[in-house]
């Protein structure tokens, strides 16, 4: 049996490895959310930064609930393999991680109070934050926020832990950390700031004022297509490295990171690994969320209905690929002019990335958490497009695909509002108008101007009816002919 990955000795020559002395660099980042995406993205950029300019910027990783990946990393001295998949696979062992914490909120809070930690970064997924986006405030109805309001000294959620750590650092006269959200949320820095301030105001307005004045929440756009790790990922990593690795991840060759350059207490030289530091992330973020993630969601629901398990299968399906191109173009038309973006070139690159035959990115994975993802991917751009007098038909069709998919679910979909969605679909029965009205009317999902646009909702309703009556294939053909 191959030995477990736990040191850099004995790696075959073709495997890339840290180009710096790991022991010479202390911890500087506490990262919450050790999912595959973080390991394939920020960890790799940090590895590049350490190799280029050093510094005490290694990462203490933590998962709020699960301990599987932290345990795996702790059993491997923090090392893990990133498998880059294209015509041939390439393996790289990442050294940026130190020890990891799993499922122990008190230990995470202690780590966050350590003045050596100058950045607290997060990839916890959209639904974990507990922020009411319409109100730009902490959402007291979110289970973690409710728990942290009741027991502020023993926080369990993201906002509560950040707030308790900032309060303790202020009390101790230590500098705060910068808070860096790396999730696919619009204006993620400002949003997280609003959530933390909202919780702070309920506890101690003075503390809220101090956070507002002293804590940086830089915004970021993150991008690297990273399918969930499977047994095959682990087997292929082992074949290349000669070592068993329970934390290996697979990803595409492409990686992009655009970061607002606002780190009062320093940062790694992430630009060494290709990160772009800018004053305003929003144009990049809108392009990515609307063009990449927006068409991903269309692919996900259509793919699920057409039994296409992977994104690459959708791209090999000519009518669906044509609709994806149309969607990207419509999304590109919503982007700010004069910000130096090139939506046409971006779309061409995306189509090639989606079609990568070496990447098995599951449509089921992307279809999860629709109510958290679709507001920024479809509904905000559709509302803007309508306001500007544009043609929002591609967005209406995507919305109809989602609704028809929902109507076909026998169990609650994997979504924080899954039970409510199932209930609304059941209540609507065969009434597509009621389905569209009730689902799109869920609080905070779509801008009121979109829900109130009779032409848009009428187009959605007609498309749902066509899909349910004639099947998605036939409805796609009609749509392409229109």
SS3 of 353, please?
helix
Closer residue to ligand CS2, CB minimum distance, 27 or 359: 359
Compute the distance between CA of residue 6 and CA of residue 362 in angstroms, rounded to an integer. Answer: 30
Should residue 366 be labelled a site residue for ligand CS2 when binding is judged by CB under 6 A?
yes
Given candidates 52, 103, 228, 365, which one binds ligand CS2 under the rule CB under 6 A?
365
How far CA 124 is from CA of 34, 44, 129, 184, 396, in Å, comes to 8, 18, 8, 10, 30
Closer residue to ligand CS2, CB minimum distance, 225 or 237: 225
Compute the distance between CA of residue 159 and CA of residue 131 in angstroms, rounded to an integer. Answer: 9
| Cα radius of gyration (the chain) | 23
Compute the distance between CA of residue 419 and CA of residue 355 in angstroms, rounded to an integer. Answer: 33
Compute the distance between CA of residue 450 and CA of residue 186 in angstroms, rounded to an integer. Answer: 18
Closer residue to ligand CS2, CB minimum distance, 165 or 298: 298
Q: Which of 28, 25, 22, 26 is nearest to 42 (CA)?
A: 28
Closer residue to ligand CS2, CB minimum distance, 373 or 466: 373
| Strand order across the beta sheet in which 276-278 lies | 220-223, 256-260, 276-278
Site string for ligand CS2, 192-231 (x = CB under 6 A): -------------------------------xxx------
Closer residue to ligand CS2, CB minimum distance, 243 or 296: 296
Q: And the tokens for 3?
A: 């030995």
Compute the distance between CA of residue 324 and CA of residue 297 in angstroms, rounded to an integer. Answer: 10
Least CB distance to ligand CS2 at residue 168 (A)? 33
Given candidates 118, 312, 373, 393, which one binds ligand CS2 under the rule CB under 6 A?
373
Q: And the tokens for 231?
A: 């047994």
Site string for ligand CS2, 147-186 (x = CB under 6 A): -------------------------------------x--
Site string for ligand CS2, 111-150 (x = CB under 6 A): ----------------------------------------
H or E segment and range at residue 191: helix 188-203
Should residue 360 be labelled a site residue for ligand CS2 when binding is judged by CB under 6 A?
no
Should residue 327 be labelled a site residue for ligand CS2 when binding is judged by CB under 6 A?
no
Closer residue to ligand CS2, CB minimum distance, 223 or 250: 223
- Binding footprint of ligand CS2 on the chain (CB under 6 A): 184, 223-225, 293, 296, 365-366, 373
């Amino acid at each position: 049996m191959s030995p477990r990955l736990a040191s850099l000795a004995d790696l075959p020559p073709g495997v890339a490895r840290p180009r710096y002395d790991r022991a010479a660099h202390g911890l500087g980042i506490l990262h919450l959310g050790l999912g595959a995406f973080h390991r394939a993205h920020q960890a790799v950029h940090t590895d590049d930064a350490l190799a280029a300019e050093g510094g005490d910027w290694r990462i203490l990783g933590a998962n709020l609930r699960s301990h599987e990946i932290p345990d795996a990393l702790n059993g491997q001295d923090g090392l893990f393999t990133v498998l880059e998949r294209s015509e041939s696979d390439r393996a790289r062992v990442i050294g940026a991680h130190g020890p990891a914490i799993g499922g122990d909120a008190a230990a995470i809070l202690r780590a966050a109070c350590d003045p050596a930690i100058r950045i607290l970064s997060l990839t916890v997924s959209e639904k974990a934050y507990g922020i009411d986006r319409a109100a730009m405030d902490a959402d007291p109805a979110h289970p973690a926020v409710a728990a942290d309001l009741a027991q502020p000294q023993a926080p369990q959620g993201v906002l509560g832990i950040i707030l308790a750590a900032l309060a303790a650092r202020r009390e101790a006269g230590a500098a705060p950390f910068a808070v860096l959200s790396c999730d696919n949320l619009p204006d993620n820095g400002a949003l997280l700031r609003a959530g933390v301030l909202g919780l702070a105001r309920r506890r101690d307005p003075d503390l809220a004022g101090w956070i507002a004045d002293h804590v940086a929440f830089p915004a970021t756009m993150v991008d690297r297509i990273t399918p969930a790790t499977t047994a095959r990922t682990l087997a292929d990593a082992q074949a290349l490295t000669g070592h068993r690795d329970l934390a290996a991840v697979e990803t595409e060759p492409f990686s992009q990171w655009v970061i607002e350059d606002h780190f009062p207490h320093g940062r790694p030289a992430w630009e060494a690994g290709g990160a772009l530091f800018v004053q305003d992330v929003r144009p990049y973020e809108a392009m990515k969320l609307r063009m990449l993630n927006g068409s991903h969601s269309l692919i996900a629901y259509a793919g699920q209905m057409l039994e296409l398990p992977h994104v690459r299968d959708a791209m090999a399906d000519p009518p669906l690929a044509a609709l994806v191109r149309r969607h990207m173009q419509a999304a590109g038309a919503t982007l700010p002019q004069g910000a130096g973006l090139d939506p046409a070139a971006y779309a061409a690159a995306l189509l090639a990335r989606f079609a990568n035959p070496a990447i098995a990115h599951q449509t089921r994975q992307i279809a999860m958490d629709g109510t958290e993802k679709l507001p920024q991917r479809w509904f905000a751009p559709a509302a803007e497009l309508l306001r500007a007098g544009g043609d929002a038909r591609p967005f209406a069709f995507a919305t109809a695909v989602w609704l028809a998919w929902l109507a076909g679910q026998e169990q609650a979909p994997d979504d924080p509002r899954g039970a409510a969605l199932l209930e609304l679909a059941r209540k609507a029965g065969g009434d597509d108008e009621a389905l569209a009205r009730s689902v799109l009317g869920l609080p905070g999902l779509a801008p009121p101007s979109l829900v109130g646009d009779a032409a848009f909702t009428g187009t959605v309703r007609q498309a749902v009816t066509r899909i349910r009556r004639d099947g998605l294939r036939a409805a796609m053909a009609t749509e392409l002919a229109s």
